[in-house]
């Protein structure tokens, strides 16, 4: 079944998550946390559920300031806080360790958490995600000024093709609708935070199995960024997808979920990556 739930982080912020659990109730099943991209919500990952929720208890949190999660504009926003949101959610679920997959900014958060709390990770997956945003990248697109001027929906509309390619008008509208809850005021804090640390060398500290899935080419990330981070991961399966957009997890969800399923099954079986 699928449930929509709220919980309270240690700083008092009310955060939202969905649980998709179609595993057999009489069997133990591992948790899988799916963290959506920035300027999105947990709804971006709905199509992954049929591929994963029979074998894994899938949890889709809304990053604070996204979807139905409160932005807590009166609280400090740090990478440590976002990483703790993940581990505190695991505590709330009474889960000691989980598989974690993050897309774009969700992948940045997952990597920060894996470095700070490695004991909580069974594996790590990152889709179109780099270890922090290269400081040149937001400036190149003038993101914050454009969001402040036209709003989140207008900015996503202007950059739609880079995100989900030649999607249908209906698909594009859905993509915009799943950015609910994100405001220019919050992004004015969130985007600089994502660019505040760029840490490819630290990826060598991550010991758990890693899945890295990237668009080829990525309209928003230079290929050398992905190659550099790949060189530091110690135990990594690398998959490139020709022609995918940066928001591949919402553009081609079935392909993305199947790559995750193959990786998770191999990790669970103890196969070499």
Print pLDDT tens along the chain (273 aa): 999 999 999 999 999 999 999 999 999 999 999 999 999 999 999 999 999 999 999 999 999 999 999 999 999 999 999 999 999 999 999 999 999 999 999 999 999 999 999 999 999 999 999 999 887 765 656 777 888 788 889 999 999 999 999 999 999 999 999 998 899 999 999 999 999 999 999 999 999 999 999 999 999 999 999 999 999 999 999 999 999 999 999 999 999 999 999 999 999 998 888
The CATH code for residues 2-269 is 3.40.50.1820
Show the CA angle centred on residue 239, arms to residues 235 and 244, nearest 5°. Answer: 145
CA distance 209 to 207: 7
Break the chain into its structural domains and give their ranges.
Answer: 2-269
pTM: 0.96
DSSP lists the bridge partners of residue 32 as 58, 99
CB 137 within 8 A of CB 129: no
104's CB contacts (< 8 A; 6+ apart) are 37, 38, 127, 128, 129, 246, 247
């Amino acid at each position: 079944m699928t449930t929509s739930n709220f919980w309270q982080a240690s700083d008092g912020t009310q955060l939202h998550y969905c649980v998709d659990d179609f595993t057999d109730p009489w069997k133990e099943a591992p948790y899988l946390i799916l963290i959506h991209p920035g300027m999105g919500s947990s709804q971006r990952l709905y199509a992954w559920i049929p591929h994963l929720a029979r074998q894994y208890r899938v949890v889709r949190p809304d990053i604070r300031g996204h979807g139905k999660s409160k932005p807590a504009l009166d609280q400090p926003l740090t990478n440590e806080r976002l990483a703790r949101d993940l581990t505190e959610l695991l505590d709330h679920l009474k889960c000691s360790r989980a598989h974690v997959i993050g897309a774009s900014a969700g992948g940045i958060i997952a990597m920060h958490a894996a470095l700070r709390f490695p004991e909580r990770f069974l594996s790590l997956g990152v889709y179109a995600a780099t270890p922090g945003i290269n400081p040149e990248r937001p400036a190149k697109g003038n993101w914050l000024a454009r969001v402040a001027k036209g709003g989140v929906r207008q900015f996503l509309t202007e950059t739609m093709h880079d995100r989900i390619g030649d999607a249908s008008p209906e698909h594009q509208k859905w993509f915009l609708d799943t950015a609910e809850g994100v405001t220019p005021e919050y992004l004015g804090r969130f985007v600089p935070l994502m660019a505040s640390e760029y840490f490819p060398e630290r990826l060598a500290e991550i010991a758990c199995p890693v899945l890295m899935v990237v668009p080829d080419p990525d309209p928003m990330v230079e290929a050398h960024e992905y190659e550099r981070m790949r060189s530091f991961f110690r135990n990594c399966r690398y998959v490139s997808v020709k022609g995918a957009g940066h928001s591949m997890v919402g553009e081609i969800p079935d392909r993305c979920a199947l790559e995750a399923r193959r990786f998770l099954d191999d990790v669970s079986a103890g196969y070499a990556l």
